[in-house]
Chains A and B, each alone.
Chain A
């Protein structure tokens, strides 16, 4: 089937198998490798992207429903003024170890802060349900707090 959608502000028209998971379209058809495959069953969060403002596990999101949607992947976070404040906070707090899960965490965090600039602990725990086998959770928390602080105290230009 034919679908049309935008990723990171660019428009795409593709002829796809409507059942194919969005993850493989992103990674293999569009060659954006920042979105990772971990489980293919919406269980780990490594493949998280933002679709129309919602953090979404792209491994379990069929191509057919992508039609008309606007998608942001990790590659779409940077702008002219540099890294997204969430990415910058991740660097400042030296979060990644192996790094494989981090795109997913960063995307889930960006979506969370777009919805709730000052999330409660419960909102954080409910939104960041991804898994990190290296155990970077304490630093993810610190980085998230730093991002919250920077994004709520500074003018919005960097976002």
Chain B
């Protein structure tokens, strides 16, 4: 261990040298106290907790070929995180971009990221520690270069990966070859933002070529010799249990290897995927429904007033204003359950050999995947190596990796590698859905059209609660489910008297993280309500919103994106030729987004032709990929708002296939999606989800202008 680190005193550096050819550097980060402090801050400020955390494990490795490998603690699920992290690292190491290779860290790299990949937290959380670590790594080499050049470290210049002093030069690779004993120095000054070579540039994603040539980069593509295929059959009903399995029902079918019947799962194993699938269709399993449940029962459970309320945010007390009001305006909204419907089904390839496991898996949470497996198989965590692969879409789904556990179990039992992925129908049945929600909003306004009292009640199934995705400590500290209330807070500083209440619905099925968590539903409710209120007092929606923003920094930033989107879209309240525009905005964490849509109604369907989106997400690492994330969020949000719902009929979950579970297709995608990024020198903020917020309300607000009908539910129907 080298000398003390000044700016990163809590960070602990580990260093390893392999046979004089490579040097690696990692960091582990301390947790409990930091978590607690951060959470206290959350409760005080109403900001989402993970925005304050950094704390992953990061590894660099330099080799004699002058290549530097960076092991990312975050997983690539399409969001471009590997590229963005590479840009940050390459800048701080002052190397050529091509010199850097980025790989996923597997669990064998040491202690694991305490958080998972998700919640738009990766870049924001890693921004500081990763630069500090890269700078420290760079300094290690500068010190060695100085020795080589017989000069002082501060005299050594470094540019594009070449260290120089007068006419002498060397490289990372050369230094790896000759250095015997490395020392970890204090963290030097970080690079000046003016000198950034890669940060802020639209560098093409690192994984482009692999992804357009069909390289086997996903976990479903992994193969091992002697591999068998397992199909795990999930329970097709809610509130039901398995009462019988008859393994003889698949006797004699071709290729059958085994039928595994365990307390927590049933699986058919065969030599080919097709054989396993056929057998799973024939396997006689009896399920017994314990209590009949229909969709309307679910809706009753998710209703403001039912279950446990938590006051999650409170301004000045609005009670008197409500009591004395001549009119209280109230409004209700609902959203249904949603499926992740990522195109690659969940699954894993597990190989148990000589007492150890290797698991190739699509996971957003390496740490939890390993813990779950180790627990279930009663193995030491050290013996379980989890190798995360590129994710074929995730959106929260890959926080749960049940099949990795089952595949591991089966592999140990059969002593063969086991490839185990859901069918599409099973993927729907085994999903952890976006929870259904109900929203009840109330407001009182004065003569000038100002909101003098505001109440927002949101009822939702669990997102964070009941899930072991987060370190346990969070649930102990936070009462309400901050995943469920994400987006429900009052972020209009001009509204002073308000109360925000989150109701926890107790549902007989699994609901959890879905891109943006409560954001889509809560902003849909609030921003639809804002338009309703504006209309009530005869003020246009833009002015009405502006009137409720104060001069705090955060309100001013929201105001700026709002004004910008109005300008960019030439927003108008006028309906012309059956075409209307709608607007909505939100602040999520410290990211601000405003969106405008232009749409028409044809054959009773909403046709969105244009979406304008302005976002302030702090400093931007890769503008092209920020735009891609905005586009993706807008399209996924539109799809959820216009088409998607999961329902329960006689305890069965459905639909179980794309089509009936309709996703937006190319045909319906707006012709024009324009993204504008605000300039900012704030540290980077989350961006993988915030643009999901305003889109549904913007569509509802525009539709209202055409039909006079306020949309109160998804999937949106313009006429009822």
A-side residues, CB < 8 A to B, are 17, 19-21, 24, 28, 31-41, 43-44, 46, 73-75, 77-78, 83, 87, 90-91, 94-103, 106, 124-125, 128-141
Contact = CB atoms under 8 A, between A and B. Distances in A.
Contacts of B209: 91
Contacts of A130: 665-666
A129 B665 contact: yes
Contacts of A96: 78, 205, 207-208, 211-212
Q: What DSSP secondary structure best describes chain B's contact surface?
A: loop
B658 A98 contact: no
A34 B209 CA distance: 12
Nearest to A32: B214
B657 interface: yes
Contacts of B632: 97, 134-136
B658 A43 contact: yes
Given A99-B390, A130-B665, 15 more contacts: A28-B273, A34-B214, A36-B218, A43-B659, A95-B212, A96-B208, A97-B632, A98-B344, A132-B343, A133-B341, A133-B395, A134-B636, A135-B664, A137-B664, A138-B673
A12 to B, nearest CB: 17
A84 to B, nearest CB: 9
Contacts of B80: 97
Given A101-B343, A141-B666, A135 B658 contact: no
Given A17-B274, A134-B632, A39 B210 contact: no
B342 interface: yes
B78 A134 contact: yes
A91 B208 contact: yes
Given A35-B214, A43-B658, A133 B342 contact: yes
Interface centre among A36, A87, A135, A136 (most CB of B within 10 A): A135
Contacts of A101: 343
A135 B205 contact: no
Contacts of B624: 94
A49 to B, nearest CB: 11
B223 interface: yes
B669 A37 contact: no
B682 to A, nearest CB: 25
Contacts of A131: 343, 658, 663, 665
B707 to A, nearest CB: 26
A94 B622 CA distance: 12
A94 B205 contact: yes
Contact of A75 (B210, B213, B254): B213
Given A44-B343, A87-B212, A98-B394, A137 B635 contact: yes
B184 to A, nearest CB: 36
B254 A106 contact: no
Contact of B657 (A36, A41, A135): A41
Contact of B213 (A46, A78, A100, A141): A78
Contacts of A75: 213-214
B687 interface: no
B11 interface: no
Q: Which of B625, B632, B634, B666 counts the most A-chain CB atoms under 10 A from its CB?
A: B666
B214 A74 contact: yes
A141 B263 CA distance: 49
B615 interface: no
B343 A24 contact: no
Contacts of A138: 631, 635, 669-670, 673
B98 to A, nearest CB: 16
22 contacts: A20-B274, A28-B223, A33-B221, A34-B213, A34-B214, A37-B220, A44-B424, A83-B212, A83-B213, A96-B212, A98-B343, A98-B344, A99-B207, A99-B212, A100-B342, A100-B344, A101-B343, A125-B665, A128-B666, A129-B665, A134-B393, A138-B670
Interface string B415-446: 00000010110000000000000000000000
Given A135-B635, A136-B632, A138-B673, A39 B657 contact: yes
B636 A41 contact: no
A36 B659 contact: no
User: Looking at A36, A83, A100, A106, which has the most chain B CB atoms within 10 Å of its CB?
Assistant: A100
B631 A135 contact: yes
A99 B657 CA distance: 21
Contact of B424 (A28, A41, A87, A129): A41
A33 B221 CA distance: 6
B341 A74 contact: no
Contacts of B205: 94, 96
A21 B392 CA distance: 21
Interface of B: 76-80, 204-205, 207-218, 220-221, 223, 254, 272-274, 340-345, 390-395, 421, 423-424, 624-625, 628, 631-636, 639, 657-659, 663-667, 669-670, 673
B631 A73 contact: no
A106 B220 CA distance: 20
Contact of B204 (A74, A87, A94, A132): A94
Contacts of A20: 272, 274
Nearest to B637: A135
B256 to A, nearest CB: 14
A154 to B, nearest CB: 19
A91 B204 contact: yes
Contacts of B390: 98-99
B272 A28 contact: yes
A99 B345 contact: no
Contacts of A35: 214
Contacts of B344: 36-38, 98, 100
Nearest to A140: B666
B156 to A, nearest CB: 36
Name which of B77, B345, B628, B670 has the most chain A CB atoms within 10 A of its CB: B628
Contacts of A128: 665-666
Contacts of A33: 214-216, 221
B658 A34 contact: no
B274 A98 contact: no
Nearest to A99: B211
Nearest to B79: A97
Contact of B78 (A38, A46, A97): A97
Q: In the A-B complex, list the 5 residue pairs whose CB atoms are closest, starting with the nearest.
A: A34-B214, A135-B635, A98-B78, A100-B392, A99-B211
Contacts of B215: 33-34
A40 B635 CA distance: 24
Contact of B391 (A37, A38, A98, A124): A98
Contacts of A124: 666
Contacts of A97: 78-80, 628, 632
Contacts of B204: 91, 94
Contacts of A44: 343, 424, 658
Given A91-B209, A137-B669, A24 B274 contact: yes
B122 to A, nearest CB: 15
B392 A36 contact: yes
A50 B76 CA distance: 29
A28 to B, nearest CB: 6
B214 A133 contact: no
Tell me which of A24, A33, A98, A124 has the highest count of chain B C-beta atoms within 10 A of its own C-beta: A98
B212 A125 contact: no
Given A97-B79, A98-B391, A100-B344, A24 B213 contact: no
Given A98-B390, A100-B218, A125 B667 contact: yes
Contacts of A136: 628, 631-632
A94 B628 contact: yes
Contact of B254 (A17, A31, A74, A140): A17
Contacts of B341: 133
A94 B208 contact: yes
B476 to A, nearest CB: 34
A140 to B, nearest CB: 7
A78 B209 CA distance: 12
A142 to B, nearest CB: 11
A46 B624 CA distance: 25
